[in-house]
Amino acid sequence: MKMDLGTIKLILKHREPFLFIDFIKDISDNTIEASLRVSEDDVFLKGHFPGEPVIPGVLLIEAMAQTAGFLVAYNLTKEKGEESGSVEFDFFLSKVNSVKFKAKIIPPAILRIKAKISPSLVENFYETSGQVYVGDEPKMMGNLLLYIKTKNNGKNLFS
Amino acid sequence: MDKNELLNNEKELLKWVKEELIFKRLNLADLGLSVDAVGDTTLLFQKEGLDLDSVDGLELAVGIEQKLGLKVGKLKEDTSKTKFATARSICDFIRELHLTKSMTPIK
């Protein structure tokens, strides 16, 4: 199933210039592929680096977190039998377990962000593994821990 | 030490929980703590103890599954507070899981 930016904004509360997915190419119960078009004019490229634009690796981590976050929140909304956008979420990146950057990405580029999620042993935590590709070339791979809960409904399990 | 030796030796299990599972796996040395900071009954998730958070709690659960091959399962609020309260209570929890696993189901 494909989804556009309008649907993404119903689920994620991130907004430009800090929204790093603009299209959903495919989504299933535990996998998702999103994409992001990065142009040479994007604001963060002005300083990274002047005259020598490279997409910052830290933004690839964020893009992967947003992609996986969309999947979790979309599924939770669906499970509740609600319409997209009617349930609000809080999103936290809790842990960056392992990330490897294989090659730099020079704009303009279309990023393909793939993520797979599995629920963890503790409620509201989700393990994410994924990759960022340009074309068929892997540029980054990583494993993140996300904490996602419906707004005002979170409990801390340990304290 | 392999998992069966650990599971059958109460003293070694407690040592493993304190030194490997809690101290090393949670990188407590990065916080400037020494391994002695983790006592048998040090409160793990309380402010007056080590003040660990729920990411640490998840890490403990995953560590138990990986090293000891026991299924911790989903942690509920009440169980996580009591079972993960101290190194000693984690040991009790591990032995309980081990016992449940080794029991033959009655048909």
Residues A69 and A96: their CA atoms lie apart, in Å, by 14
Interface pTM (ipTM) of the complex? 0.72
pLDDT(B75) > 70: yes
| Cβ burial, residue B99 (10 Å; 0-12/13-18/19+) | exposed
Q: What pLDDT does residue B107 have?
A: 54
Distance between alpha carbon B23 and the CA centroid of its chain, in Å? 11
CB spacing of B55 vs A123 below 8 angstroms: no
What residue ranges of chain A have pLDDT lower than 70? 152-159
Tell whether the model's pLDDT for residue B104 goes beyond 80.
no
Search chain B and give the residue with CA nearest A97: B59
The whole-number pLDDT of residue A38 equals: 97
Q: Which residue of B has its CA nearest to A122?
A: B75
Mean pLDDT of B57-82: 85
Tens digit of each residue's pLDDT (9 = 90 or more) over B10-62:
999 999 999 999 999 999 999 999 999 999 999 999 999 999 988 899 999 99
Q: Compute the mean pLDDT over every residue in chain B, rounded to the nearest whole number.
A: 90
Contact B72 A121 (CB under 8 A): yes
Using alpha carbons only, give the angle A39, A42, A44 rounded to the nearest 5 degrees.
135
Contact at CB, A122 and B80, closer than 8 angstroms: yes
In SS3 terms, A55-124 reads as CCHHHHHHHHHHHHHHHHHHHHHHHCCCCCCCCCEEEEEEEEEEEEECCCCCCCEEEEEEEEEEECCECC
Q: How far apart are CA A75 and CA A84, in angstroms?
A: 10
Contacts of B44 in chain A (CB under 8 A): 158
Domains of chain B: 3-100 (1.10.1200.10)
Neighbours of A57 (CB within 10 A): 18
